[in-house]
Amino acid sequence: MQELKNKKILLIIGGGIAAYKSLELIRSLKKYGSQLEVILTSSGRKFVTELSVSQLAEREVHTDLFDLKSELKMGHINLSRNADIIVVAPATANLISRLAHGMADELATATLLASNKPIIIVPAMNPQMWNNPATQKNLMSIKKFGYHFCGPEIGETACGENGMGRMEEPSSIVHYINEYFSKKNKLKNKKAFVTAGPTIEPIDPVRYISNNSSGKQGYAIASALSKYGANTTLISGPSFEKAPEGVELIKVKTAMEMLDAVKSCSPADIGIFAAAVVDWKIKEYKDHKIKKNGYDRMLELIENVSVIQGVVKNNSLKPELSIGFAAETENIYENAKEKHSKNDLDWLLANDVSEDQDVFNGDYNSIVFFDRSGSETWQRMPKVDVAEKLVNKISEYFQ
């Protein structure tokens, strides 16, 4: 647990029965040399006492947003500014809901809302509470805000019911935090690019051909690469997604512009082709708006450039690890396999984008992953989790 030495950790203890485990968590983190500040929510104080927490943390515990002494130094801002990371354990259903809705009604929530640091959520609750659609919606919201999750696990909860919702054991939480810090260096000095979103191919100055890609998967991958320390460029077609922190964004429109941008970042260590590049373009672009009655009811199309082939098939531009995506609606396995070998990609992730799968524009994806030796299926999961899983695999490749 070398990464924990001298790390400044702000621990927030919510009002769940698992709060007693947080006392053990404080002991372990102290043992590995971390420096702790602790906030207890007002409900958290009903489960563990300030006295126990302050004795173990060897610090005064923070509880009150309107504490005159600490607010002289803007306590609710400074607590996060002075930390390397924030850990919320236990994170109750109520606390997660408050975070999802941007509430700042006590010291813990105000500090989290004002935070500029990574936040690890360690959920703990009854399985019905966990499975409740309201909780699941709140979890998805904060996942998209960039919060990290440690657990929960399946098992017997304090209420005697079995299922998902049990808080991870303190030893696992310690391990997770240590991994979080070591992860930041795993792709350090690696250069990566990710293409994302659709391209658009103009017909005339006001009309174009495009597709339904939202860019969510590519943006999530760029964000995960950056968190693992890679020097990441995101080359994106039109998308409403927000550029991830620490990532250089190059905005493009057409496939040709995308190819030029990818070439400008090549050769890279990691090249990920997640964009849905339009396969065809108009044979003859008109530089004036075609009148309603001025077109002959046939648009003549020609094949577009292939961004993947333009880079992967060129030895001086080829990334060390090239990864493509295949969006299919039928014969997914066969079509993806063909794309994998035709484009000479190292890895390929195939996803089913049929309408009923809600992948384009949705937050979930299910994947068939191909490498040069075979394939495996990744069950449906949030796109941010697909990104994390993929980038974890990439970091293992470079070990």
**What phi-psi label fits residue 223: left (phi over 0), alpha (psi between -120 and 50 degrees) or beta?**
alpha
DSSP label at residue 307: H
Query: How many chain residues bind ligand FMN (CB under 6 A)?
Result: 15
Judged by CB under 6 A, the stretch of 49-57, 91-99, 211-219, 326-334 that binds ligand FMN is 91-99
Q: To the nearest whole angstrom, how small is the minimum distance from the Cβ of residue 140 to ligand FMN?
A: 17
Smallest distance, Å, CB 180 to ligand FMN? 22
> Binding to ligand FMN (CB under 6 A): which residues in 29-58?
41, 43-44
Please state the closest distance from residue 149 (CB atom) to ligand FMN, in A: 15
**Smallest distance, Å, CB 42 to ligand FMN?**
6
Within residues 110-139, the interface with ligand FMN by CB under 6 A covers 124-125, 129
Closest alpha carbon to 351 in 216, 194, 149: 216
The correct pick among 11, 14, 268, 308 for binding ligand FMN (CB under 6 A) is: 14
Q: Which of 308, 201, 343, 200 is nearest to 335 (CA)?
A: 343
Give the Cα-Cα-Cα angle 283, 288, 290 (nearest 5 degrees).
75
> What kind and span of H or E run contains 160?
none
Of the residues 4, 9, 10, 18, which one makes contact with ligand FMN according to CB under 6 A: 18
Pick the binder of ligand FMN from 92, 178, 236, 304 (CB under 6 A).
92
- Alpha-carbon span 280 to 302, nearest angstrom: 5
Give the distance from CA 314 to its chain's centroid. Answer: 31
Cβ atoms of 325 and 274 within 8 Å: the answer is: yes
Q: Are 157 and 163 in contact (CB under 8 A)?
A: yes
Q: Give the residue, chosen from 28, 78, 94, 335, that forms a contact with ligand FMN under the rule CB under 6 A.
A: 94
Q: Which of 1, 3, 4, 15 binds ligand FMN (CB under 6 A)?
A: 15
Based on CB atoms, which residue is closest to ligand FMN, 89 or 259?
A: 89
Which residue matches tokens 């803007």? 74
Burial class (CB in 10 A: 0-12, 13-18, 19+), 167: buried
> Where does 260-387 show beta strands of DSSP type E?
270-273, 280-282, 301-303, 321-328, 347-352, 364-370, 375-382
- Rg, Å, the chain Cα set: 24
Query: Is 233 among the residues that bind ligand FMN (CB under 6 A)?
Result: no
For residue 148, list its beta bridge partners: 120
Q: Which stretch binds ligand FMN (CB under 6 A): 13-21, 139-147, 270-278, 293-301?
A: 13-21
> Is 350 near ligand FMN (CB under 6 A)?
no
Minimum distance, C-beta of residue 44 to ligand FMN, in the bound complex (Å): 6
Is residue 16 near ligand FMN by the rule CB under 6 A?
A: yes
| Options 33, 73, 159, 245, the catalytic residue | 159
The distance of closest approach from Cβ of residue 87 to ligand FMN in the complex, given in angstroms and rounded to an integer, is: 14
Q: Which stretch binds ligand FMN (CB under 6 A): 14-22, 26-34, 237-245, 341-349?
A: 14-22
In angstroms, give the least distance from the CB of 34 to ligand FMN. 23
Cα 148–Cα 154–Cα 158 angle in degrees, nearest 5: 100
Q: Which stretch binds ligand FMN (CB under 6 A): 15-23, 65-73, 171-179, 208-216?
A: 15-23
Q: In angstroms, what is the minimal distance from the CB of 48 to ligand FMN?
A: 12
159 is catalytic: yes
| C-alpha to C-alpha distances, 342 to 31, 165, 302, 310, 338, nearest whole angstrom | 54, 45, 20, 13, 6
Amino acid code (one letter) for 53: V
Judge if the upstream peptide bond of residue 90 is cis by omega within 30 degrees of 0.
yes
Residue whose CB is less far from ligand FMN, 164 or 256? 164
Scan residues 255-314 and list those touching ligand FMN (CB under 6 A).
none
Instruction: Choose one: 49-57, 92-100, 216-224, 388-396; the region binding ligand FMN (CB under 6 A).
Output: 92-100
Q: How far apart are CA 188 and CA 212, in angstroms?
A: 34
Kindly list the catalytic residues. 159
Q: Which residues bind ligand FMN (CB under 6 A)?
A: 14-18, 41, 43-44, 92-95, 124-125, 129
